Structure 1
Amino acid sequence: MRVVATAGHVDHGKSTLVRALTGMEPDRWAEERRRGMTIDLGFAWTRFAGLEEPVAFVDVPGHERFVTQMLAGVGPVPATMFVVAADSGWMPQSTEHLDALDALGVRHGLLVVTRSDLADPELARDEALEHLAESSLGRLPAVCVSGATGAGLDALRAALADLVGGLPQPDLDADVRLWVDRAFTVRGAGTVVTGTLGAGTIRVGDELALGERTVVVRGMQALGESVDPVRAVARVALNLRGVGLDEIGRGDALTTPGRWLRGDVVDVRVGPPRGATAAVDLPQQVMLHVGSAAVAARVRPLSREDAPDDPSGVTRTVRLTLREALPLRPGDRALLRDPGAHRVLGGVIVLDVRPPALRRRGAAKARAGELAAAEGVPDAADELARRRLMRRDDLVALGAEVPSDVPGAAGWLVDPAWLTVLAQRLVAAVAAHAEAQPLDPGLPAKAAARALELPDPRLLDLVLAEPAASSLAAVGGRVRARDAGGLPDTVRKAVATVLADLADAPFQAPEAHRLAELGLRSRELGAAVKEGALLKVGDGIYLAPDAVEVAVARLADLPSPFTLSEARQALGTTRRVAVPLLEYLAKQGRTRRDAEGRHALK
């Protein structure tokens, strides 16, 4: 199916023309037929010779009072049939429609001069072509017809067939985003919504996201017939389960779950209105029109009004704070409108839907500089370079293809250049910790992750794997320099003195006053034990690292089992050392005690 929006004129000529082409009545309301004026979106469809697919029409209102409805119909549609009446010519609403189409970047269209039975159409045609040529539509083919008499309809059908036959092929595998333009209930079926599916495929049973909730497609129709699946481009009606009529309406969007980011703060580039030669002065409050949605927004310029970031001076980068969050992606086209002045302010290209906060002085201008080269095309490398770290799911939701070689862990991705910076910072943090805490054997991993402001501690392994961090090693939950000497020189010398004292009497553990005399207090002793330079067998009892093996060798010469007194004499020590030492040997599984309290080697 192909979808065309009919735009351009306020009177009933458009509806008459669509009726003549399709045999269907696009005006759904009795008031529209009574007043002879389209006031809401109308829908009709037909088939043309030479085309395999049917063509659907979205008939949009022309009167300035119904511009919001008009934009809701035009927003998702790729082509337009621009209608001008021969007896009226170009009118103010024609200008507003063209301004909107130009702002949205619509490039495919056909000019139709209707009511040609009432006046010579050539003057209206030539005038309209001049206006259209100054827009994104450019030079269009034109057909003069009369919906009342049928004159020129065959030529129009042929021209429409050429138009839709030349439209770009949609991406059938794309993530779904269906902007809702109607919502109603059907007795026995429940809530039904309609919209133009511009990309992707929907099947019965699919789950779709509606904001933060999930709804299920229980049935579908396209052009009045039940279908499954429905593929873009198509006018589609979805029967939904899990949502009431009061919970969904025009401007809502149904999306593939987990594949779109919803945001209420976006950075965008605003182009000038059609024909303007300088960037337009934006009011603080505007309306953002995208898809079928119309959302109030507050404007914050990211560069000074007298110094736009585009050297040509016709575009400006701004931040929009939306009254409602919308599912957007970089590259989305939208428009800004001043509802008070009834004018289009310019077209919008979305650049970032997860922009950073602007807290420091000069941050807005710096941000404009960052976005100056942004093209509004989702690119994994560019997004990561700007954000440094981001969740993989968020990058996918931006519509970017995630390269297989991007470093990542725990669901996060890291910009390779930023990973190098993090590695350098980690080396500096470990060195600073070693200088401030010489007895602490390395920076704890959790502290390292906090120092680098990592969103997940598991990313620390990625940083350690960087060449810039090759001087570091993770040992026992801590990060330390590979060539770290371990103990400070003063502590190492003191420990060497203790070991020298123990050389001839290995079980004559130094008294507390001797340890204090050497400068070995609790922290120093703890560091020596962690380093393996001393062995702690009990409170205040420190021996050489090989004390266990030496003790076992001496006790092996005793008859088994042996008493504490016999062990004390064999070890050449005091009860102060012998008791905790034998308890330590038992905990290590080197000895056992019998019921009488005697000891034996295992």
Structure 2
Amino acid sequence: MHVLATAGHVDHGKSTLVRALTGIEPDRWAEEHRRGLTIDLGYAWTTLPSGEEVAFVDVPGHERFIGNMLAGLGPAPAVVFVVAADEGWRTQSAEHLAAVDALGLSHGLLVVTRSDLADPGPALADAGERLARTSLGQVPAVAVSARTGEGLDALREHLDDLVAGLPTPDPGARVRLWVDRAFSIKGAGTVVTGTLEQGTLRVGDEVEVGGRRLRIRGLQSLERPQEAVAAVARVAVNLRDVTPEDVPRGTPLLTPSAWHPTTTLDVRTSTDPAELPGTVTLHLGTVAVEARLRPLAGDAARLTLPHPLPLVAGDRAILREPGGHRLLVGALVLDADPPALRRRGDGRRRGEALTAYTGVPDLPTEVGRRGAMRRSHAAALGLDPSTAHPSAAHPSATHPDVVVEGEWLLDRSALRGWATALGDAVRARAQAEALDPSLPVEAARAQAGIPDVALVPLAASTAGLEVRGGRVWLPGVAGSLGEAEEGLRAIEARLEQDPFAAPERPELEAAGLGPRQLAAAQRLGRVLRLPDDVVLLPSGPAQAMRRLAALPQPFTASDARRALGTTRRVVIPLLEHLDGRGWTRRVDGTLREVVRR
């Protein structure tokens, strides 16, 4: 599949054109039909003469909805730029083209609509010249009438040529899907949609959303169920254990542990950053977020974001005036992990280095000097972009002393040193702590001197260790409860018969299960520990949900206590646990309800 965005002035026939090509109404809201005006993003698709499937993201043209327009244009690899023959170039034509240019889009097609109402020649010539002065360059152009159908066959042929020239994405690349819609379907739960730019999504896979790992329950593309969807594609993702409010537009769905979210960026702007306001709205993908802007030197600036985003060198963004409609400038991310600016003059020196540096130092020397370097640092230093961008060729093919892992370029000798130190640390822990013979990944990182927790699995694999449950283990070692094993088995057997008869503290102590033994049992996945010393089996919450779902909704804590056959000591922390997992929710101060999925 291929994905194209529309662009152009309001009421120049973008939605009408998409409807004529696909037979699908892209305007989804009653308000849009009432006003005859596209307000939000619309979606439609068709099969081209070559057999290729193409999906359209139809964007609003009115200046009041430019934020929605940028959300549709941001993830798209190509644009269909629309100008009406009877009106020619207009205000939003210029603004949409500025956005296209700021995002660096180089694949596109010019379509002059309403050719039955006026001679399309002047609009074709004028718009073609304007597009040629941007990142699009000279693009094919065609005149059509969606009302009469004239030119639509020629347009389909041009679309075939356009999609044939688009770059082929890497289906094995890490996923970063920017959500553009989130909604709930009865019986299915939460569904999010977006344009998958690279990588592959599969049913059953986990994705990282806001620091949580969520499992993909189902996939659709072009309203057809799929077991897997590879980029580029429009995709609908059915997620478990999340509500639509948890995944608003601009939320990224990520390959777990493959991205390094950042709040600080060094960028190159398309105009002097000293002329820009100190606070701007950053648009990238479908996200729009306020950022503080600090000019450095030349065309370089530093942006500080209010919360972390998974950005990398090479990402292109748009900066706008907060609260206004004026499109400001484009921004190219040079470094998504820049050094701190602590001393007087650091900003100027940093800006000069980013603006003036054009050399290409030897990659193994640069990486070896540091032991490890983020790819974003490599780009900022002027290293070959083909080795600095995550979707590019593997640099170790050219530099055998360099290992690539996610956002990092690593010196092999440094990696071997971390692996040795990590193995020593885990073996020492196993000898000293039979109850807890493993290290949390962050503690392992610190003890081995590894620069990023994302590199711990690679170092562990190099050392012949295992990473399980967020901890690093010796191979085949699972931990032992020692003398407390017999007592734990007795409590497990009782909870199998009565899942919510949580043992009291004296019974736990008599079984030899103090805080350290219980912590070890939880790490082994044998118990679930809740506040106030409430101990259940890990299956307890699921069993509770089956009983609570059978209650009249909403229900009180007393209703839940009776349904579960337990005490208030157990039911209150259990209900709070279910709330935290999103399985139940409070209706008011005393009532809860099961969240239907």
Which structure 2 residues correspond to residues 90-239 of structure 1 after superposition, within 5 A?
90-239=89-238
2:31 alignment partner AA: E
Judge conservation of contact 1:73–1:292 (CA < 8 Å) in 2: yes
Which structure 2 residues correspond to residues 435-584 of structure 1 after superposition, within 5 A?
456=446, 458=448
The verdict on how the C-alpha distance between 1:91 and 1:397 changes in structure 2, with shifts beyond 3 A counting, is same
2: CA distance between counterparts of 1:385 and 1:97? 45
The alpha-carbon deviation at position 140 of structure 1 amounts to 1.3
The verdict on how the C-alpha distance between 1:110 and 1:385 changes in structure 2, with shifts beyond 3 A counting, is farther
Partner residue of 2:42? Answer: 42
The alpha-carbon deviation at position 144 of structure 1 amounts to 0.6
Partner residue of 2:293? Answer: 299
Judge conservation of contact 1:8–1:83 (CA < 8 Å) in 2: yes
Partner residue of 1:366? Answer: 349
1: CA distance between counterparts of 2:55 and 2:86? 27
Calculate the TM-score normalised by the size of structure 1. Answer: 0.62
Partner SS for 1:260: coil
Judge conservation of contact 2:334–2:376 (CA < 8 Å) in 1: no
Percent of counterpart pairs with the same letter? 59
The verdict on how the C-alpha distance between 1:191 and 1:417 changes in structure 2, with shifts beyond 3 A counting, is closer
Equivalenced residues, count: 406
Partner residue of 1:27? Answer: 27
Partner residue of 2:590? Answer: none
The verdict on how the C-alpha distance between 1:380 and 1:327 changes in structure 2, with shifts beyond 3 A counting, is farther
The alpha-carbon deviation at position 53 of structure 1 amounts to 2.5
The alpha-carbon deviation at position 9 of structure 1 amounts to 2.1
Partner residue of 1:65? Answer: 64
Partner residue of 1:483? Answer: none
1: CA distance between counterparts of 2:192 and 2:54? 20
The verdict on how the C-alpha distance between 1:279 and 1:93 changes in structure 2, with shifts beyond 3 A counting, is same
Judge conservation of contact 2:279–2:322 (CA < 8 Å) in 1: no
The verdict on how the C-alpha distance between 1:263 and 1:385 changes in structure 2, with shifts beyond 3 A counting, is farther
2: CA distance between counterparts of 1:8 and 1:356? 40
The verdict on how the C-alpha distance between 1:459 and 1:179 changes in structure 2, with shifts beyond 3 A counting, is closer
2:6 alignment partner AA: T
Calculate the TM-score normalised by the size of structure 2. Answer: 0.63
1: CA distance between counterparts of 2:365 and 2:348? 19
What 5-or-longer segments of structure 2 have no aligned partner?
Answer: 379-386, 416-444, 451-597
The alpha-carbon deviation at position 375 of structure 1 amounts to 8.2
The verdict on how the C-alpha distance between 1:269 and 1:49 changes in structure 2, with shifts beyond 3 A counting, is same
The alpha-carbon deviation at position 390 of structure 1 amounts to 6.0
1:354 alignment partner AA: D
The verdict on how the C-alpha distance between 1:78 and 1:324 changes in structure 2, with shifts beyond 3 A counting, is same
Partner residue of 2:278? Answer: 284
The verdict on how the C-alpha distance between 1:393 and 1:33 changes in structure 2, with shifts beyond 3 A counting, is closer
2: CA distance between counterparts of 1:258 and 1:105? 29
Partner residue of 1:505? Answer: none
Judge conservation of contact 2:375–2:389 (CA < 8 Å) in 1: no
The alpha-carbon deviation at position 345 of structure 1 amounts to 2.3
1:180 alignment partner AA: V
The verdict on how the C-alpha distance between 1:397 and 1:209 changes in structure 2, with shifts beyond 3 A counting, is farther
2: CA distance between counterparts of 1:17 and 1:296? 34
The alpha-carbon deviation at position 347 of structure 1 amounts to 1.6
1: CA distance between counterparts of 2:205 and 2:359? 30
2: CA distance between counterparts of 1:145 and 1:57? 17
The verdict on how the C-alpha distance between 1:376 and 1:131 changes in structure 2, with shifts beyond 3 A counting, is farther
The verdict on how the C-alpha distance between 1:233 and 1:392 changes in structure 2, with shifts beyond 3 A counting, is closer
Match of 2:332 among 337, 344, 349: 349
Judge conservation of contact 1:259–1:393 (CA < 8 Å) in 2: no
2: CA distance between counterparts of 1:391 and 1:178? 22
The alpha-carbon deviation at position 323 of structure 1 amounts to 2.0
1: CA distance between counterparts of 2:374 and 2:109? 44
Judge conservation of contact 2:364–2:401 (CA < 8 Å) in 1: no
Partner residue of 2:252? Answer: 253
| Bigger shift: residues 15-24 or 347-356 | 347-356
Match of 1:317 among 282, 287, 300: 300
2: CA distance between counterparts of 1:376 and 1:237? 44
2: CA distance between counterparts of 1:78 and 1:231? 15
2: CA distance between counterparts of 1:284 and 1:72? 23
The verdict on how the C-alpha distance between 1:393 and 1:136 changes in structure 2, with shifts beyond 3 A counting, is closer
The verdict on how the C-alpha distance between 1:141 and 1:397 changes in structure 2, with shifts beyond 3 A counting, is closer
Partner residue of 1:9? Answer: 9
2:275 alignment partner AA: D
1:324 alignment partner AA: H
2: CA distance between counterparts of 1:263 and 1:375? 25
Partner residue of 2:383? Answer: none
Which of these two proteins has the greater Rg computed from alpha carbons? 1
